[in-house]
């Protein structure tokens, strides 16, 4: 009878280790992500179609799993709206692989369903608002685009 008790305690230990390693990305990355929005000029109102809002510059903790529309607006300027999507990130993939190696197949499912393996894009969202009445349109900008435009304009 002693051998059976010893085997049962080993099985219980192995199950506990497997359970603790389940959902690596959910534990290490979480199901929400900091989502940053900046605007030029600052002080613009940011609203998502799923109920989050803030004034720029700002950071919101948003579900990684969600895809949504975000609108940046300010009195005297043309509003800007864009779609925020998500995709598998390198760190999220590493969490899935970690689950598979350790044997946490339940963790793979948890990570996939929770969205912990995903990242929101674009992040950060940087918007240049165009004044009402101007010929320009409000637009999203990225540091690489701004640097490239500056470099192209240089003599």
Domain boundaries, the chain: 2-153
154 vs 67, higher pLDDT: 67
Give the tens place of pLDDT for each residue, 7-37: 656 655 455 444 444 445 555 667 789 999 9
Give the pTM. Answer: 0.66
- Please give the structure tokens belonging to residue 46: 């940011």
141 — pLDDT class (breaks 50, 70, 90): very high
> pLDDT tens digits, residue range 58-99?
999 999 888 999 999 999 999 999 999 988 765 444 444 555
Structure-token pair, residue 31:
């199901």
User: What is the sign of the dihedral through the CA atoms of 149, 87, 36 and 139?
Assistant: positive
pLDDT at 94: 46
Using CA atoms of 40, 45, 49, 50 in order, give the dihedral in degrees to the nearest 10: 120
Range 102-123 average pLDDT: 67
Mean pLDDT of 95-110: 52
How high is the pLDDT of residue 107? 55
């Amino acid at each position: 009878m002693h051998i059976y008790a010893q085997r049962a305690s080993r099985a219980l230990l192995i199950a506990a280790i497997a359970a603790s390693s389940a959902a690596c990305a959910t534990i290490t990355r979480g199901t929400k992500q900091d989502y940053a929005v900046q605007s030029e000029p600052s002080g613009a109102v940011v609203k998502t179609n799923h109920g989050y809002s803030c004034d720029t510059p700002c950071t919101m903790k948003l579900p990684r799993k969600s895809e949504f529309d975000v609108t940046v607006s300010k009195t005297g300027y043309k509003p800007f709206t864009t779609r925020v999507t998500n995709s598998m990130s390198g760190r999220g993939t590493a969490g899935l692989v970690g689950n598979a190696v350790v044997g946490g197949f339940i963790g793979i499912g948890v990570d996939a369903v929770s969205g912990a393996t995903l990242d929101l894009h674009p992040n950060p969202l940087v918007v240049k608002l165009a004044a009402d009445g101007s010929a320009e349109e409000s637009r999203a900008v990225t540091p690489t685009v701004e640097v490239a435009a500056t470099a192209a304009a240089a003599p």
